A and B are shown apart, each in its own frame.
Chain A
């Protein structure tokens, strides 16, 4: 008996240590970002950082305006979401309401493979296949552009939306389905007027998760979107995202303890703030709606 109890205790301590480790890692990341960002902002005004329309820290005439990187990030993410939300949601509705359970059980794992493909593969797929293909229809599309990696990223994040939305749709009580069908509603009407609204909180969470994933995606945009920070919302142009910039600098030969090097922490902190806010929104939605049917 005593032996059992010590064992239990040991396991408990081990598990606690694990959760502490993740908390510590998170805190460590925030700390590192903050320390170097504070050093950065002691040399560059925060107003310039958010209002200057040029980002040229590595040139002789230095500008530290995050806007071009931010628009690059938001543009590629926006294109991805534009692809992923309608497609992901349609697939979720189809799997839930139209397809046979057998079909769903086969298709869902296949779909999830999309999220498991290494992103470097997607990157080259965008650069060497999608871009040339698109150039057949859009002649003035640049070799590096926001459109092609945006589209490919959209495909990559479909499973995030489908999987969570499908769970949310499935959780809608079947009594609501019966009520709708019982009034003479079609499948389509039932899906879009009853099930989707009833599952809206779960669907929102899935979309937010997908957006976070797209915001943080690095490889695809680094390979196919180019490395030219440009303040534009034109998807045909080459753009640079925050993540691409961070990779570019950390792989380059910029001296570690320099202002140029610290730009990546300021940029990283900006990105972190975005995903942090998104996470909180999704946490709030989940909390607010979790007991709706209980």
Chain B
């Protein structure tokens, strides 16, 4: 099997505190993988390893291997290139205080694309893929901050898609949104897996069940169980998983 992303015996420390403990998992291309588990169990930490966002945190240290298309993320790929191939959507919508158009064009511009026609094409493509085009196509020069929270988050998704990554990491992308906006994001994730490999952190088990093909359950920095979503939610192997999904803790 040609896996898209792999972690092999991965460990991570913040200073003295170990946040990831010997994690091994493989993610297939064009799938949606959900990371679930109680708060503080290391879901975000693992997610951020795949595009090296933890590098920005002073005192963080890793051991083990992280692979993208079989290449070692920390050794064989330049970090700027990696982050273009592995995009990230954050918990709170974080559009730049620029126009809608310039937000989506940002990733293209930093790659040296300044051709107007090409930029316009790619911006349209990205906004369509983020299911936002119809709502903003007449207001591309308005400030991104004038959009609603749900629209801002889809704008951030469009901004990430613009550089055509192969993987999109999402860290609780709907946790700050109302139910209608959340539903839109979930539909979108379902669509996106045709073109991208998606990894999504969520504390919402229904959401994991709705959007993902596979689910990984973490507890205190360890990967407890990783399986087909349906199997994990209906017939888990581990007792800890069983307890968590039935709401007995977390």
A and B associate: yes
A positions within 8 Å CB-CB of B: 173, 175-186, 189, 193-194, 197-198, 292
Known: A176-B96, A198-B97. A183 touches B84 (CB 8 A): yes
Residues of B within 8 A of A184 (CB): 79-84, 107, 110-111, 163
Residues of B within 8 A of A185 (CB): 80, 106, 110
Q: How far is the CA of A36 from the CA of B242 in the complex (A)?
A: 88
State which residues 51-76 of B face A: CB under 8 Å. 51, 53, 56
Docked-complex contact B82 and A173, CB < 8 angstroms = no
The stretch among B26-34, B86-94, B184-192 that forms the contact with chain A is: B86-94
Give the 10 A-B residue pairs with the shortest CB-CB distance, closest first: A184-B83, A175-B94, A184-B84, A182-B88, A184-B80, A183-B107, A179-B94, A189-B110, A185-B110, A198-B97
Docked-complex contact B81 and A178, CB < 8 angstroms = no
Q: How far is the CA of A177 from the CA of B56 in the complex (A)?
A: 10
Most chain B CB inside 10 Å of its own CB: which residue of A177, A183, A292 = A183
Docked-complex contact B87 and A178, CB < 8 angstroms = no
Q: How far is the CA of A292 from the CA of B159 in the complex (A)?
A: 21
Chain A residue at smallest Cβ distance from B160: A183
Chain B residue at smallest Cβ distance from A188: B110
Residues of B within 8 A of A292 (CB): 97, 145
Most chain B CB inside 10 Å of its own CB: which residue of A182, A193, A197, A198 = A182
Q: How far is the CA of A185 from the CA of B107 in the complex (A)?
A: 8
Task: Known A-B contacts: A184-B163, A197-B96. Give 4 more (CB < 8 A).
Answer: A175-B90, A178-B90, A198-B97, A292-B145
Chain A residue at smallest Cβ distance from B97: A198
Docked-complex contact B51 and A182, CB < 8 angstroms = yes
Quote the shortest CB–CB distance from B59 to chain A (angstroms): 13
User: Any chain A CB within 8 A of the CB of B109?
Assistant: yes
Known: A184-B163, A193-B106. A179 touches B96 (CB 8 A): yes
A-B contact count (CB 8 A): 67
Interface readout for B155-183 with A: 1 if CB under 8 Å, 0 if not?
01001100100000000000000000000
Q: Which of B56, B97, B109, B159 contacts A178 (CB 8 A)?
A: B56
Q: How far is the CA of A183 from the CA of B51 in the complex (A)?
A: 10
Residues of B within 8 A of A182 (CB): 51, 53, 83, 87-88, 90, 160
Q: How far is the CA of A178 from the CA of B95 in the complex (A)?
A: 11
Docked-complex contact B159 and A183, CB < 8 angstroms = yes
Residues of B within 8 A of A179 (CB): 90, 94-96, 156, 159
Residues of A within 8 A of B163 (CB): 183-184
Residues of A within 8 A of B96 (CB): 176, 179-180, 194, 197-198
Residues of A within 8 A of B51 (CB): 182
Q: How far is the CA of A184 from the CA of B97 in the complex (A)?
A: 19
Q: How far is the CA of A185 from the CA of B160 in the complex (A)?
A: 12
User: Any chain A CB within 8 A of the CB of B98?
Assistant: yes
Known: A175-B92, A175-B94, A183-B159. A193 touches B109 (CB 8 A): yes
Quote the shortest CB–CB distance from B83 to chain A (angstroms): 4
Residues of B within 8 A of A176 (CB): 94, 96-97
